[in-house]
């Protein structure tokens, strides 16, 4: 037995016991052999400072009579080739709800969006990130039709419970019933549905379910996926009498998927999506043997809080305490996405009254709040649903004239931090709240899921007087500057400094210690003056302003930073060939 087979056998035994474990391992090995032609040499590095992601739906850009994936490819080719390396196309499969996250068929492209050839066309110029919606499937899927009709294989792919089962211990991100009734050939049955009555949880206690999903995610690698995102992975394994979140079996499944990827496609990066407090989130790194990358879920609400209050103290403290990364792991940094801005990630990080004030401010700026049900039956905020651009139209004191610089400040904070930046398409295009979309769908998350008409967006980007053009041009320029700086390599050193409560300050040092960059972001509406000697460490001296916008006195003893201004200062230093 090879080391790979032995490792897989141990994981299978942990999940399913000794019975049939060797048969299951052989079936996994059959899958590995089937996709053996994908195998490439292991790369020296999985990422560099040039990496930047764009998050988008397949139909975020539309035009009459054109396939959305074709229009997306046109937009990306015309506007994004010099600034993004990877495109995260959110689920583009046939679906029944939740804008793609209730998958009907995991192996087909939604014909309303386009074809696999359209996906491959995007892959010609960009790496791809593809979602494996692993926790649940649509009730319109063939699998669920099998369940309803008591036919294999789907009849054993879902979790059936008596309607009187006590599920009070189960942790959930929703306030809908967990067990939903379904009319089947065997009468009314109640099935597990963590997220909605249309998203029925899959039964991973059935090894055939696991094998099917492994086959599916390897098929995504075969069509060009360089990054694989495990959606809602935290809720994967269910065991009554537990919280059913982050169970050891769930972590073991992630490890098994990592093992398979290491064998078949060592250049592919595994990403887990877990909108939970930081310690729970980073548990998916394991010992460097689970996810290569996790989302930095604390970043969006911490940045929003700092910009609302004009005070970076909590943001600074949080960033200073980010745990060290295991080797070969990094963060995906983001400030906005297709989902809302999570509230759970700031549990025990921000005062409760300030979290409530942040939520109230989001509501004032046209946003909504999604609630979740707690184990004691009470409800509490789960996420804030709002366009980030509109969320930053003002501070907690009300709207003001600083919306665009405040928004750009939020993005520079993200671009400066250790990890890989991921920009949501509606941040790139300064998209406002889409309340009409909420009214059309009845879902609060739709407020930040606009579909741009290609001609309308093109007209706005061509007009330098629009917020859309100003934000797009500024972010494009900053991303182009960033990718030239070795100090912004995802693995480069990071030190967070606390010198002024209005300033968020990060020092980044390249892996070869040849470049040092200080990122300073003023999160307030007031001018800040900072003594350069207070900022720099011994022997350092400013040699370049990478953005070309800072105001440093001729004697280089004072730095003036305007409201919401950000600067990247490159400095000379005495430790190029020594440890920092």
Burial 216-252 (b: 16+ CB within 10 A, else e): ebbebbeebbbbbbbbbbbbbbbeeeeebbbbebbbb
The pLDDT value recorded for residue 575 is 65
The pLDDT value recorded for residue 377 is 81
Q: Is 166 a catalytic residue?
A: no
CB burial of residue 119 (10 Å; 0-12, 13-18, 19+)? buried
How far are the Cα atoms of 54, 93, 278, 385, 455 from residue 57, in angstroms, in the given order? 10, 11, 27, 17, 18
User: In the predicted model, what is the mean pLDDT of residues 200-206?
Assistant: 98
Q: How confident is the model at residue 580 (pLDDT cuts 50, 70, 90)?
A: very low
Distance CA 1, CA 460 (A): 61
Residue 338, pLDDT above cutoff 80? yes
- Report pTM: 0.96
Q: How confident is the model at residue 579 (pLDDT cuts 50, 70, 90)?
A: very low
Token pair listed for 58? 């397949």
CA atoms within 13 A on the CB side of 321: 10
The pLDDT value recorded for residue 452 is 98
How do residues 241-258 score in pLDDT, each as one tens digit? 999 999 999 999 999 999
23-30 LR contacts (CB < 8 Å, sep 24+)? 24/207, 24/211, 27/211, 28/211, 28/214, 28/256, 28/260, 29/5
The pLDDT value recorded for residue 578 is 46
How far are the Cα atoms of 83, 145, 228, 496, 569 from residue 32, in angstroms, in the given order? 35, 29, 17, 43, 48
CA 186 to chain CA centroid, Å, is: 40
Percent share of the chain, pLDDT over 90: 89
Phi, psi torsion values for 448, nearest 5 degrees: -120, 30
Token pair listed for 393? 């139209």
Q: How confident is the model at residue 554 (pLDDT cuts 50, 70, 90)?
A: low
The pLDDT value recorded for residue 372 is 86
User: In the predicted model, what is the mean pLDDT of residues 235-243?
Assistant: 96
For the ranges 71-80, 81-90, 166-175, 542-551, the lowest mean pLDDT is seen at 542-551
Distance CA 336, CA 330 (A): 18
Q: Are strands 528-531 and 558-561 parallel, antiparallel or unpaired?
A: antiparallel
Residue 555, pLDDT above cutoff 70? no
The pLDDT value recorded for residue 459 is 98
Phi, psi torsion values for 405, nearest 5 degrees: -65, -35
Residue 106, pLDDT above cutoff 70? yes
User: In the predicted model, what is the mean pLDDT of residues 515-523?
Assistant: 97
User: In the predicted model, what is the mean pLDDT of residues 63-79?
Assistant: 97
Average pLDDT, the chain: 95
How do residues 262-298 score in pLDDT, each as one tens digit? 999 999 999 999 989 889 999 999 999 999 999 999 9
Name the helix (H) or strand (E) containing 61.
strand 61-62
Active-site option among 231, 339, 390, 491: 231
């Amino acid at each position: 037995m090879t080391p790979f087979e032995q490792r897989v056998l141990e994981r299978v035994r942990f999940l399913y016991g000794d019975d049939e474990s060797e048969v299951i391992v052989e079936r996994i090995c059959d899958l590995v052999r089937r996709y053996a032609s994908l195998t490439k040499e292991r790369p020296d590095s999985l990422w560099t400072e040039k990496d930047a992601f764009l998050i988008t739906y397949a139909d975020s850009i539309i035009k009459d009579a054109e396939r959305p994936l074709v229009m997306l490819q046109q937009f990306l080719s015309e506007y994004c080739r010099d600034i993004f390396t990877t495109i995260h196309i959110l689920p583009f499969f046939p679906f029944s709800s939740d804008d793609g996250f209730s998958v009907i068929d995991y192996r087909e492209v939604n014909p309303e969006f386009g074809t696999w050839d359209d996906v491959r066309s995007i892959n010609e110029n960009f790496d791809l990130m593809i979602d494996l919606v692993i926790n649940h499937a649509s009730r319109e899927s063939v699998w669920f039709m099998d369940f309803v009709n008591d036919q294999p294989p789907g009849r054993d792919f879902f979790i059936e419970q008596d309607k009187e089962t006590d599920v009070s211990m189960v942790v959930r991100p929703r306030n809908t019933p967990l067990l939903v009734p379904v009319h089947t050939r065997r009468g009314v049955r109640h099935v597990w549905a963590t997220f909605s009555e249309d998203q029925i949880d899959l039964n991973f206690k059935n090894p055939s379910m696991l094998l099917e999903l492994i086959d599916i995610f390897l098929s995504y690698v075969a069509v060009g996926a360089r990054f694989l995102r495990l959606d809602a992975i935290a809720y994967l394994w269910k065991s009554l009498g537990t919280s059913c979140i982050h169970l050891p079996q769930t972590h073991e499944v992630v490890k098994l998927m990592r093992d398979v990827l290491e064998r078949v496609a060592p250049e592919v990066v595994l990403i887990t999506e877990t909108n939970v407090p930081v310690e729970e989130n980073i548990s998916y790194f394991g010992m460097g043997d689970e996810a290569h990358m996790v989302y930095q879920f604390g970043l969006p609400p911490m940045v929003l809080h700092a910009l609302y209050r004009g005070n970076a103290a909590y943001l600074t403290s949080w960033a200073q305490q980010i745990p060290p990364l295991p080797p070969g792991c990094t963060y995906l940094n983001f400030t906005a996405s297709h989902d809302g801005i999570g509230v759970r990630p700031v549990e025990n990080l921000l005062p409760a009254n300030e979290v409530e004030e942040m939520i109230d401010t989001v509501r004032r700026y046209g946003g909504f709040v999604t609630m979740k049900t707690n184990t004691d039956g009470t409800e509490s905020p789960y996420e804030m649903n709002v366009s980030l651009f509109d969320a930053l139209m003002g501070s907690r004191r009300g709207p003001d004239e600083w919306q665009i610089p405040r928004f750009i400040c939020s993005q520079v904070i993200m671009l400066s931090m250790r990890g890989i930046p991921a920009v949501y398409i509606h941040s790139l295009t300064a998209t406002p709240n889409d309340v009409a979309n909420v009214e059309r769908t009845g879902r609060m998350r739709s407020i930040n899921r606009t579909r741009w008409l290609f001609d309308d967006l093109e007209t706005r980007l061509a007009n330098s007087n629009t917020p859309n053009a100003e934000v797009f041009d500024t972010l494009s320029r900053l991303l182009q500057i960033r990718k030239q700086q070795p100090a912004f390599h995802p693995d480069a050193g990071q030190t967070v400094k606390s010198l002024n409560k209005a300033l968020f300050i990060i020092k980044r040092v390249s892996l070869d210690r040849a470049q040092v960059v200080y990122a300073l972001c003023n999160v307030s509406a007031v001018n800040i003056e900072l003594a350069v000697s207070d900022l720099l460490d011994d022997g350092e001296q400013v040699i370049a302003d990478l953005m070309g916008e800072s105001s440093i006195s001729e004697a280089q003893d004072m730095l003036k930073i305007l409201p919401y201004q950000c600067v990247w200062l490159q400095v000379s230093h005495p430790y190029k060939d020594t440890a920092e």
